[in-house]
Structure 1
Amino acid sequence: MTDTPDPIMEAIGRAVMQGQNGDSAAARTALLDLWNRIGVTGDPLHRCTLAHSMADLYDDAAQALAWDVRALDAADAATDERVQAHQAGLELAGFYPSLHLNLADDYRRLGSFEAAEEHVRQAEQAAPALPEGPYGDLIRSAITGVAAAIAARDTAPRASAPAAS
């Protein structure tokens, strides 16, 4: 990790904690303020992290989808060099399973099963980049669960999915 603290990443982390502690409205406000500071052409790591986190604060699949698309677009603009400047050993490839998983779940919840199938397939293809351990296991399990829900044409929110309080 870099020796210099990254105030934007720290602010994103504080907002995420607000959301996890049940204050989704305050978390969304804080993240929107940061989004406006970063800008749509700002640091891709900041944009990806913020948008990925913001999507989790919405129960509405269409709102989550808008943020998940932003997160994927930002990841596509990021580089391993930038990601590793933030945290040594972190690989951009490890972002894609979760990003595509979230998009698959959004599209599934909206009943757009073809798009959902494409993104769950991309999540499955990217899954080897996941680390071993609890985080990787969580994402791999969620990919399996979303794939099953897509196959069943189920649009109900998953009980284990992050969502607004």
Structure 2
Amino acid sequence: MTVADQTMMAINDAVTVGRKGDSAEARQALAALWDSVGVTGDPLHRCTIAHYLADLHDHAADALTWDIRALDAADSLTDDRARQHDSSLSVRGFYPSLHLNLADNYRRLGAFDTAHAHLAAARKRLDALGDDAYGLGVIAGIDHVEKALAEGSTQRLATH
């Protein structure tokens, strides 16, 4: 097993802890992984860690910090590196979800114009998603955030 595989397994383990309800422990584990990978480390690791850390923060400003880091890491990630982890992955397929998360954070912070811009960026890349549960979930998320924006809501969405 390679070091990269071990890191992705540790990320998955931390995410599982969070999904079982222990957000604090999951945040701590992912933060420790972030520290070990470093800000210039493997972009797949950085993108994945930051993406999941963002989901574990209740305040939009904290989530935004991690979502920006995830997007930044995706910008330096290659398809070859992503496919080393999973042969079906394409970096372009990461962007709809990353931009959706940014849109939701900006919406919750009241930066509606920026939220709209990120929703547009997410929609622009929807062709990179499959017609599967993940792709349909991202599309549903975009629709929910778009509806909340139309209502001028800054409340956290149960669906996102």
The normalised TM-score by structure 1 is 0.94
Matched, 1:56 2:55: yes
1:103 aligns to what?
A: 102
2: CA distance, partners of 1:92 / 1:110: 27
Partners of 2:156 and 2:115 in 1: how far apart?
14
Partner of 1:77: 76
Shift of 1:150: 1.3
- Please name the residue that 2:67 is paired with: 68
Whether 1:139 aligns to 2:128 is: no
Corresponding residue of 2:20: 21
1:37 aligned partner: 36
Structure 1 gaps of 5+ residues are none
| Partner residue in 2 for 1:156 | 155
1:85 shift after superposition: 1.0
CA distance in 1, matches of 2:153, 2:109: 10
Q: Match of 2:125, SS?
A: helix
Letter in 2 for 1:11: A
Distance 2:25 2:134 in 1: 26
- Let me know the Cα RMSD of the aligned residues: 1.1
Mapped to 1, the partners of 2:52 and 2:69 lie a distance apart of 11
Measure how far apart 1:120 and its partner are: 0.5
SS, match of residue 153 in structure 1: coil
Normalization by structure 2: what TM-score? 0.96
Structure 1 stretches of 4+ moved >6 Å? none
Shift of 1:151: 2.0
Distance 2:75 2:152 in 1: 29
**Alpha carbons 2:39, 2:46 under 8 Å: kept:** yes
Report if the CA contact (8 A) 2:144-2:159 is conserved: no
Does residue 118 (structure 1) correspond to residue 94 (structure 2)? The answer is: no
Structure 2 unaligned segments of length 5 or more: list them: none
Structure 1 equivalent of residue 7 of structure 2: 8
Give % identity.
Answer: 53
Q: CA deviation at 1:43?
A: 0.2
- AA aligned to 2:19 is Q
Count, aligned residues: 159
Shift of 1:149: 1.2
